[in-house]
């Protein structure tokens, strides 16, 4: 259902959300009502924690066709994870990791970046031209995006096509974020014991292509390539 082009509210919720909720009740909720009831009574037990970007175009539940209770999702700008830093400050992403690993005992953690990430591109533009400086240090976005600096240092300064540099930086950011994830002692311990597996991925926003990280080779490889080709070859209508 297309969103309203001029819905500024005035009601309890935006009209688009109310209509979407009604469609959910008539469709998915009706089909999976027993599943929702079971989750409400017995709680959640997802096997995967997915940390993705807050970008509205890359919903993990949609991309992976996930049902209720299947994926524990954390979304922030550029799908980043800070190093393990237990202190009195507020750590939203870190607290979700702690809960997923220690309470839910997930078996997999996936870091999923995406093509055309605005956070990554902002960092690239700022590195290439001081006029595109990131927000002031006392704002939230600037300090958060500083997490990507070590990944950028592995590539060196931008040269040639900024689009290509941004693509490479997006991949490097996923790799560095996995390294930050391993600074969490309970993540590191569970991975070493074989109870937890870490994964990296990149989603192609425009073409739907999913790449997964082969950490031994340090490269991202296509997933579901044959099915992806079929999807583009099949008639759309």
* Whether residue 112 sits in one domain with residue 141: yes
- 225 versus 93: the higher-pLDDT residue is 93
Residue 16 structural domain:
1-31
Give the active site residue among 55, 96, 176, 190: 55
| 219-223, strands of its sheet edge to edge | 71-76, 48-53, 108-114, 197-203, 210-214, 219-223
Does 200 fall in a domain?
A: yes
Q: What's the rounded Cα separation, in Å, for the pair 110 and 227?
A: 21
* Whether residue 116 sits in one domain with residue 214: yes
Element at 145 (helix H, strand E): helix 141-145
* Whether residue 164 sits in one domain with residue 90: yes
Does 38 fall in a domain?
A: no
Question: Any catalytic annotation for residue 114?
Answer: yes
Give the active site residue among 23, 57, 129, 214: 57
Does 14 fall in a domain?
A: yes
* Whether residue 9 sits in one domain with residue 81: no
* Whether residue 107 sits in one domain with residue 8: no
Does 111 fall in a domain?
A: yes
Does 98 fall in a domain?
A: yes
CATH code for position 162: 3.40.1050.10
Element at 112 (helix H, strand E): strand 108-114
Does 214 fall in a domain?
A: yes
**pLDDT level of residue 134 (50, 70, 90 thresholds):** low
Q: What's the rounded Cα separation, in Å, for the pair 84 and 31?
A: 41
Question: Any catalytic annotation for residue 57?
Answer: yes
Q: How many domains, in total, are found in the chain?
A: 2
- 162 versus 134: the higher-pLDDT residue is 162
How much is the pLDDT for 138?
A: 63
Task: Give tens-digit pLDDT for 28-76.
Answer: 999 999 999 999 999 999 999 999 999 999 999 999 999 999 999 999 9
Could you tell me if 184 and 171 are in contact, meaning their C-beta atoms sit under 8 angstroms apart? no
**pLDDT level of residue 10 (50, 70, 90 thresholds):** low
Give the active site residue among 75, 114, 121, 190: 114
Does 60 fall in a domain?
A: yes
* Whether residue 52 sits in one domain with residue 25: no
Task: Give tens-digit pLDDT for 150-199.
Answer: 999 999 988 889 999 999 999 999 999 999 999 999 999 999 999 999 99
CA 153 to chain centre: 22
Question: Any catalytic annotation for residue 31?
Answer: no
* Whether residue 9 sits in one domain with residue 61: no
> Dihedrals φ, ψ of 48, to 5°?
-125, 130
Q: What's the rounded Cα separation, in Å, for the pair 22 and 43?
A: 24
């Amino acid at each position: 259902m297309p969103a309203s082009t001029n819905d500024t509210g005035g009601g309890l919720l935006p009209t688009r959300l109310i209509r979407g909720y009604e469609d959910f009740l008539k469709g998915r909720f009706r089909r999976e009502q027993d599943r929702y009831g079971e989750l409400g009574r017995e709680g959640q037990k997802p096997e995967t924690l997915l940390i993705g970007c807050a970008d509205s175009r890359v919903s993990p539940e949609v991309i992976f066709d996930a049902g209720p209770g299947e994926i524990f999702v954390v979304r922030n700008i550029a799908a980043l994870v800070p190093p393990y830093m237990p202190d009195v400050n507020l750590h939203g992403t870190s607290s979700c990791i702690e809960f997923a690993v220690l309470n839910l005992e997930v078996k997999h953690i996936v870091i999923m970046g995406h093509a055309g990430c605005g956070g990554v591109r902002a960092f690239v533009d700022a590195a290439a031209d001081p006029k595109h400086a990131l927000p002031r240090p006392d704002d939230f976005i600037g300090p958060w995006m500083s997490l990507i600096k070590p990944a950028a240092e592995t590539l060196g300064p931008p040269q040639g096509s900024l689009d290509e540099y941004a693509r490479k930086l997006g991949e490097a950011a996923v790799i560095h974020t996995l390294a930050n994830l391993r600074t969490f002692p309970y993540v590191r311990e569970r991975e070493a014991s074989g109870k937890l597996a870490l994964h990296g991925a990149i989603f192609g926003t425009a073409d739907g292509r999913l790449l997964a990280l082969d950490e031994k080779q340090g490269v991202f490889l296509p997933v579901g390539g044959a099915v992806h080709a079929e999807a583009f070859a099949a008639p759309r209508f």
